[in-house]
A and B are shown apart, each in its own frame.
Chain A
Amino acid sequence: MAERGARPRVPALQRRALGAVRALFTPLLPDDYLELINPLWSTQELRGRIERVQPETDDAVTVFIKPGWEWPGHEPGQYLRIGFVVDGVHHWRAYSLTSDPGRPDGLISITPKLVEEGVVTPWLVRQAQPGTIVRLSDVEGTFTLPDPLPDRLLFLSAGSGVTPIMSMLRDLDRRDALGDVVHLHSARTPGDVIFGEQLRAMARRRPGFRLHEQMTGADGRIGPDRLDDLCPDWREREAFLSGPAEMLDAMTEHWEREAHGDRLHLERFQPIIGQGDGELGEGGTIRFTASDVEATSDGTQPILVAGEEAGATLPYGCRMGICHTCVGTLCAGKIRDLRTGEVSGSVGEIVRTCVNAPEGPIEIAL
């Protein structure tokens, strides 16, 4: 079953009223008719309407979305999955919320950066139009500011990794809590800094907020060895890290060796497929019992991709192991988790096909 939006918080009375007249519309729901007037009124799933698409850099935009029901709120740093229809097909992607939770206009925003070979970001950056309806999941994520706030904070970001951190900075700014905050951000050129103007303005306005922009095109990346220079007291700070996988891996190792690993908070969006510790296996054959399709994976291909290439129509969602839309029941064989390299598998196990590869021949009820 394809992924759908979160269940919106609808007043109980309204839900009861809709339930009471359901018999008049069976097998459809009253919602199916209300949608004709306004698709945001669905009480079955949370939807939103794109209100505005605002360029941030040459290849990043901020998309402002009006949720169909009152926004239940989020913590700065959290993300949500959004279902976009691109050329007729629903695609779900996770994006950090870049909006301050307390916006008076009730809008939320995300700030995607173009990934040329992708499907969704080229559409968002070049084609998305105000008025388009999208589907919204529940808010997720544990990459958030602690409560109570630590005295000293360090934010470390690179590229589009700045997005969850921007949400936190906006929140701190509003709460007047930018007393001692260092932000080290890397981008290729000054023009590539997403939210560059806003960050610089914030730094001018708030003496306690120190911003360092590292232009990797000219000056190279910020490796762990640069920390002592750029932020000598980094060990004493509660640190928040968001960026590409190599950076996360290098910094995690550094923190664990040189400081307190538990003071480091990080956001890992992309599954570490084929990277990190995940050992790869030999792969194997996959039998999809319901579709009656045979496929083969070389050990790097997830079950889902191998099946699709063999012509099976399989359920899928995020393709990174978080939404559980793609699950199937394992009937036989062993699987390897491509994120960790761990081999497991017992009959009847529910398997996420997007992040697992077969380890030898398997059968799956999909």
Chain B
Amino acid sequence: MPSMIESPLARLSDQQIDELGREFDAIHDEVFAELGDRDRRYIVSMIEMHRRLVVLGRVLLLGSRRRPAWLAGTALLSMAKILENMEIGHNVMHGQWDWMNDPQISSSTWDWDSASTAEAWKHSHNYIHHTYTNIRGKDRDLGYEIMRIDPHQKWHPIYLLQPVYNLVLAAFFEWGVATHDLDFEAIRKGEKSKEQLRREVKGMLRKGREQIVKDYLAWPLISALASSAVHAGLAAARRPSLRERAARRLRRRPEPSPTVLELAIESFRSTLAADFTANVIRNVWAYAIIFCGHFPDQTYTFSQDECKDESRGGFYVRQLLGAANIDGSPLFHVASGNLGYQVEHHLYPDMPSTRYAEIAPRVKAICERYELPYNTGPFLRQLGGVQRTILRLALPGGTPRPKPGPFRAEGDREGDAAQAAMPTSARTSSSATAA
């Protein structure tokens, strides 16, 4: 389908695009020339922090029968899982830390706590999504082939259900992503050999099994054993209390206390519930951050024609227009794997994530000079916009949301909000009537 809205890409001359390409290349080369100890210390400390959080969380969950231990343990485990998936797993598998030549922190050897195998993920995400970002019919992450997220996508009655399965997807995001990696389209078209499909399904089932055994069987079992052991130990060590002795003398029965087996079952269940909750929290968080990457109102999608014979500069412009940042504190950016800098990440997927915040001002300066937008917004506004689009596009029709004008340095936040609300160029105002 031809585009309903012309992107700023069409306005730039070939010469401008080449020049812009050189400017973006220069930032990349400069950063890579100065990578060193500081960067290594960061990723190593993140990896250590993840492991400490896991140990602390798992230890607390040994006492998961107690409410405070359950809450603290679940919180720590959720934080650990988020850190492991976002700032560590996603970024390491992008090859952001390969320059360290470290045999362990390397895209060729890393595996993560997710239902996707590293191999399938690197293909569908690093290669397909990062190469064909927001090109309709080529970027399979545009709606993940089950959602209508862009008005150019043809409507089908199944999309009436998307508000429902959107929520299911959020809770079980990693399973959705793993299934998506299998690429049903390629299977249907026969582009994937049976052998390859068999290997991929086997890999996914292995990953799934390992996570289920770990979170829903092994650790609950350890909790059950720990609580029975503690109970048995206490019972052996405890002398009957004065009251009990008095009760015995009065031939009154003491209050029945739970048996060891009951305690074990209770511990097993509460740890299982904690692990399940942590996985869901991680999934919902990952879903929220990732959906804010390319589906907010500000982003453009592209027809395959628009990207034919694309130059390096054209690639950069498409990434700028197709991605959106999320404003946030440094802590927010760590928790989101620095995907709040989605724009910078898409310009330089293999750049260590710590550097995104540092280069952001230079990216903005380029946007300003070439009169290009720099898409960003507060988390809840971005997420709200995405949810509105999902609801609206469940129904037929719809038009692109109004797009922001060129980035301007002054005014910063307020100016930013105004930009999003009020299209500034005549070219985009035609679509201001909105979805």
Contacts and interface: CB of A to CB of B under 8 A. Distances in A.
B40 interface: yes
A32 B219 CA distance: 18
Given A36-B51, A313-B95, A89 B100 contact: yes
Contact of A313 (B37, B55, B98): B98
B266 to A, nearest CB: 21
Given A24-B218, A88-B39, A313-B98, A2 B111 contact: no
A23 B52 contact: no
Contacts of B106: 1-2
B201 interface: no
A45 B101 CA distance: 15
A192 interface: no
B262 interface: no
B102 interface: yes
B101 A23 contact: no
Interface in B165-211: 207, 210-211
Contact of B103 (A3, A26, A27, A32): A3
Contacts of A25: 214
Interface in A5-21: 5
Contact of A316 (B101, B104, B210): B101
A135 B55 CA distance: 26
A311 to B, nearest CB: 8
B73 to A, nearest CB: 15
Contacts of A88: 35-41, 99-100
A90 B51 contact: no
A85 interface: yes
Contact of B101 (A28, A32, A33, A90): A90
B36 A33 contact: no
A91 B99 CA distance: 11
Contacts of B222: 24
Interface in B89-121: 95, 98-104, 106, 108-109, 111-113
A4 interface: yes
B112 A2 contact: no
How many chain B residues sit at the interface, stated as a range, is: 35 or more
Contacts of B112: 27
Nearest to B43: A88
Nearest to B98: A313
B158 interface: no
A1 B214 CA distance: 28
A316 B214 CA distance: 36
Nearest to B110: A27
A33 B222 CA distance: 17
A59 to B, nearest CB: 24
A41 to B, nearest CB: 14
Interface in A274-318: 313, 315-316
Nearest to A85: B40
Contacts of A135: 103
Given A26-B211, A27-B210, A33-B51, A90 B113 contact: no
A87 interface: yes
Nearest to A45: B103
A258 B308 CA distance: 71
Contact of A36 (B52, B100, B108): B52
Nearest to A91: B101
B360 interface: no
Contacts of A83: 103
Contacts of A26: 113, 210-211, 213-214
B48 interface: yes
A23 B218 contact: yes
A2 B207 CA distance: 24
A4 B105 CA distance: 11
Nearest to B29: A311
A32 B50 CA distance: 11
Most buried by B among A24, A88, A89, A313: A88
Contact of A87 (B37, B54, B111, B350): B37
A92 to B, nearest CB: 8
Contacts of A5: 103
B113 A27 contact: yes
A1 B109 contact: yes
A24 B214 contact: yes
A316 B95 CA distance: 15
A36 B37 contact: no
A24 B37 CA distance: 32
B350 to A, nearest CB: 8
Interface in B360-417: none
B99 A27 contact: no
Contacts of B41: 88
A238 to B, nearest CB: 39
Nearest to B38: A88
A2 B35 CA distance: 18
A322 B15 CA distance: 47
Contacts of A2: 101-103, 106, 108-109
Interface in A77-128: 83, 85, 87-91
Given A24-B219, A36-B48, A36-B51, A89 B99 contact: yes
Contacts of A313: 95, 98-99, 350
A365 B214 CA distance: 37
Most buried by A among B54, B101, B102, B218: B101
A28 B104 CA distance: 11
Interface string B25-42: 000000000011111110
Interface string A32-65: 1100100000000100000000000000000000
29 contacts: A1-B103, A1-B106, A2-B101, A2-B102, A2-B103, A2-B106, A23-B218, A24-B218, A24-B219, A24-B222, A26-B113, A26-B213, A27-B207, A27-B210, A33-B54, A33-B55, A85-B102, A88-B35, A88-B38, A88-B100, A89-B36, A89-B100, A90-B101, A90-B103, A135-B103, A313-B99, A313-B350, A315-B101, A316-B101
Given A36-B55, A90-B100, 19 more contacts: A1-B106, A2-B109, A3-B103, A4-B104, A23-B210, A23-B214, A24-B214, A24-B222, A26-B211, A26-B213, A26-B214, A27-B111, A27-B112, A85-B40, A87-B37, A88-B41, A88-B99, A313-B350, A315-B101
Shortest 7 CB-CB contacts between residues of A and residues of B: A4-B103, A88-B40, A27-B111, A90-B101, A87-B36, A2-B103, A26-B210
